Chain A
Amino acid sequence: MQSVNHSKNIVEVKNVSFSYGSELVLENISFDVHEGDYLGIVGPNGAGKTTLLKIMLGLLKPASGSISLFGTSLSDFKDWRKIGYVPQKATNFDSGFPVSVYDVVLMGCYNYKGLCCRINTGDCSIVERVLKQVGMWEYRDRLIGDLSGGQQQRVFIARALATEPKIIFLDEPTTGVDKKMHDEFYDLLRTLNRDAGLTLVLISHDIEKITEEAMHIACIDRTLVCHTSPEEFLKESESKNMFGEKVKIVSPHHHAH
C-alpha cells in the first residue's frame, strides 16, 4: 500500500459550463477529486458525462469555469505523464487497425515532451510489467482488433499505466464486455486503487456495480445533481426516483440472465 494523502486535491473542477451551439450541456459544475479517490461519474445518457471528462483532460474547452490538475491550471499543465486516459472504445475503435497489443502499450511509453531524449531505455520492461499487471502479456503479439471487448479494455488500461500515472480517467470502460470479464475488470480497478494507490475517475452506466466499488459518486445530469458517498447516493436516488426508468437498466435481476 502506497502512502496516499487523501486530503490533497489533485483535480479541481470549478463552475464549469459547456454548450454545443446554443444547447447548454453542462451547467456550473464544481467538485474535487482527492488523491487516492475512486470517483464514479453516473448519469443518464446525454447528461454530459463524456463531455465533462474531456473538459477535465483539456480535450474540450469549457465555456466558463476552470479546471486544475495537481494544483496547476489546465492551460499551464504540462506533466501529462501523471494522467492516464482510457477513452470510450466500444463505438469508435477501428478493429481493422494493424497494430499488436505490444505496440498499443508501447504508444503510451514515450516521452512526448521534448525532441531530445526521445527513446526511454526502460520502454520494453515497462510494457512487459503493465501487460502482466492487467493479465494480457501472453496476448502481446495478437492484433488489438482480434481481441474481445474486455481484453481490449485491459490493453488500453495497460497503455494508460505505461506512463506510471497518478490518476486514470476511464470513460465507460465496460461497454460491450461480458459479465465475467466485467467483474474481473472491476477487480483490476480495485487493485489499482487500493493497492497501487492510483486515483480513478470512472464514468459508468452500471450503477449497481459502481456504487459497490467507488468511494464517491458524482451524479451528472447537466448540473451536478449530487457528489456524495455511494450509500447516500443510493438512498437519495431511491427517494427522489432520480433516474426514473434508467436505474432499472442495471437492476440486479438484469444480471441474473
Chain B
Amino acid sequence: MNLFQYTFILHGLSAGIIVAVIAPMVGIFLVLKRYSLIADTLAHVSLAGIAIGLLAGINPVFTALGATVLGSLGVERLRMSKNVYGESALALFLSGSLALAIVLISLARGFNTNLFNYLFGSIVTVTIGDVYTILCLAFVVIAILAFFYREIIYVTFDEDAAQVSGVNTRRINTILIVLAALVVSLSIPIVGVLLIGALIVIPVVSALQLRKNFMKTILYAEIISIFSVIIGIIASFYLNISAGGAIVLLMLAIFFGIYILKKR
C-alpha cells in the first residue's frame, strides 16, 4: 500500500509541513517570553470561531482565523491594562471561549462528528483549497517575522532596554500575539485544537535544551518539528492512529531523549 497514491494524504502532509515550518518560528518567542500557554488559550478561542462558522455555514477556517486574531488582541489588551494578571487574562479567555463554543454547539446539535475533527485534528479533511490558504498565510507570517525580527528578538530579550532604544514595544508585543493567533488557526486541521500548544512549544523547548545560539536553536526546532510531523502523519496512515496524537507523542519522545542525553 503506497500512501502517496492518496491525494488526501498528500494534502495533509503538505499542510502539516507548512505548519511545522512556521510553528517553531513563532513558538520560540512565545516560549522565551514565558507566553507558552497563549497558544492553548488562542486554540480554545479558535474553537469558538469554528463553532460560529459551522453554525453560520461559513468555512470554519476563516471564522477561526477571525476569532483567534480578535481574541489575541483582547488578551493583549487585558494583559496591558495591568488590572488583571497576565495568566489570569489567559484563563479568562480560555474558559470563556470554550464556554461560548459549547453553548453554540449545543444550540446547533448535529455537527458532533465534524467538531471531533477540529478538536483532535483530521488531516484527511484537508482540501487543496485549505493547503493554499495555509500556504498564503504562512508566507504572511514569515514576511512579518522577517520584517520585525530584530525588534521582536530585542523586546523578547530585554523589553525595557528595547523601549529605551526607541522600539515601540507595545506594537511589537501585539504583532507577536497576532502571529501566534495566525499559527494557531492554521494548525487546527493538523493536530486539532487540543494539541496546538504542543506543536508550537515542544520543538522549541527541545531545541533550547541544546543551548545553541538563536539561529541554531530555531534550526533544530525546525528539524524536530518537520521530522515529527512527517513521521507522525506516515505512522498514522500505516498504524491507523490519530495523526495529531502521533505527532505530539513523537515530539515528546524527542524532547525526553534530548533532555536525558543532556542531563548525563
Is B165 touching A112 in the complex (CB atoms < 8 A)?
yes
Taking CB atoms, residues of chain A closer than 8 Å to B161 are 85-87, 107-108, 156, 159-160
Q: Does A78 contact B (CB under 8 A)?
A: yes
In the bound complex, how far is the Cα of B15 from the Cα of A157, in angstroms? Answer: 45
Q: Which of B150, B153, B160, B166 contacts A99 (CB 8 A)?
A: B153
Q: Does A98 contact B (CB under 8 A)?
A: yes
Is A96 touching B208 in the complex (CB atoms < 8 A)?
yes
Is A103 touching B160 in the complex (CB atoms < 8 A)?
no
Taking CB atoms, residues of chain B closer than 8 Å to A78 are 166
- Smallest CB–CB gap between B124 and chain A, Å? 37
How many B residues have CB within 8 A of the partner chain?
Answer: 23
Taking CB atoms, residues of chain A closer than 8 Å to B216 are 98
Closest residue to A88 on the B side, CB-wise?
B160
Q: Which of A100, A110, A156 contacts B213 (CB 8 A)?
A: A100
Is B157 touching A99 in the complex (CB atoms < 8 A)?
yes
Q: B-side binding surface: helix, strand, loop or mixed?
A: helix
- Given the known A-B contacts A107-B153, A108-B165, A112-B165, are A59 and B213 also in contact in the complex, defined by CB atoms under 8 Å? no
Q: Does A81 contact B (CB under 8 A)?
A: yes
Taking CB atoms, residues of chain A closer than 8 Å to B165 are 80-81, 85, 107-108, 110, 112, 163
How many A residues have CB within 8 A of the partner chain?
Answer: 34
Q: Does B95 contact A (CB under 8 A)?
A: no
In the bound complex, how far is the Cα of B153 from the Cα of A112, in angstroms? Answer: 13
Taking CB atoms, residues of chain B closer than 8 Å to A143 are 211-213
- Given the known A-B contacts A87-B158, A97-B32, A104-B157, are A59 and B166 also in contact in the complex, defined by CB atoms under 8 Å? no
Q: Does A138 contact B (CB under 8 A)?
A: no
- Smallest CB–CB gap between A37 and chain B, Å? 19
Q: Does A247 contact B (CB under 8 A)?
A: no
Q: Does A54 contact B (CB under 8 A)?
A: yes
- Smallest CB–CB gap between A242 and chain B, Å? 30
In the bound complex, how far is the Cα of B162 from the Cα of A87, in angstroms? Answer: 11
Taking CB atoms, residues of chain A closer than 8 Å to B211 are 96, 98, 143, 145-146
Is B157 touching A107 in the complex (CB atoms < 8 A)?
yes
Taking CB atoms, residues of chain A closer than 8 Å to B160 are 54, 57, 59, 85, 87
In the bound complex, how far is the Cα of B167 from the Cα of A58, in angstroms? Answer: 13
In the bound complex, how far is the Cα of B161 from the Cα of A247, in angstroms? Answer: 30
Closest residue to A110 on the B side, CB-wise?
B150
Is B32 touching A113 in the complex (CB atoms < 8 A)?
no
Is A103 touching B213 in the complex (CB atoms < 8 A)?
yes
Is A99 touching B213 in the complex (CB atoms < 8 A)?
yes
From 191 to 213 in chain B, residues with beta carbon under 8 angstroms from any chain A beta carbon are 208, 211-213
Q: Does A83 contact B (CB under 8 A)?
A: yes
- Smallest CB–CB gap between B110 and chain A, Å? 48
Q: Does A94 contact B (CB under 8 A)?
A: yes
Closest residue to A98 on the B side, CB-wise?
B217
Q: Does B151 contact A (CB under 8 A)?
A: yes
Q: Which of B154, B163, B166, B168 contacts A107 (CB 8 A)?
A: B154
- Smallest CB–CB gap between A68 and chain B, Å? 16
In the bound complex, how far is the Cα of B154 from the Cα of A58, in angstroms? Answer: 18
- Smallest CB–CB gap between B91 and chain A, Å? 24
Q: Which of B32, B154, B162, B164 contacts A94 (CB 8 A)?
A: B32
From 201 to 256 in chain B, residues with beta carbon under 8 angstroms from any chain A beta carbon are 208, 211-214, 216-217
- Smallest CB–CB gap between A156 and chain B, Å? 8
Is A97 touching B166 in the complex (CB atoms < 8 A)?
no
Is B166 touching A98 in the complex (CB atoms < 8 A)?
no
Taking CB atoms, residues of chain A closer than 8 Å to B214 are 98-100, 103
In the bound complex, how far is the Cα of B168 from the Cα of A141, in angstroms? Answer: 28
For A113-141 the 0/1 string (1 means CB < 8 A from B) is 10000100000000000000000000001
In the bound complex, how far is the Cα of B162 from the Cα of A156, in angstroms? Answer: 12
- Smallest CB–CB gap between B214 and chain A, Å? 5
- Smallest CB–CB gap between B138 and chain A, Å? 23
Q: Which 8 A-B pairs have the closest CB atoms?
A: A80-B166, A85-B164, A98-B217, A112-B166, A100-B213, A107-B154, A112-B167, A99-B214
Having A98-B32, A99-B214, A156-B161, one finds 20 other A-B pairs with CB under 8 Å, namely A54-B160, A80-B166, A85-B161, A87-B160, A94-B157, A97-B157, A98-B211, A98-B214, A98-B216, A99-B153, A99-B213, A107-B150, A107-B162, A108-B161, A110-B150, A110-B154, A112-B168, A113-B166, A143-B213, A163-B165
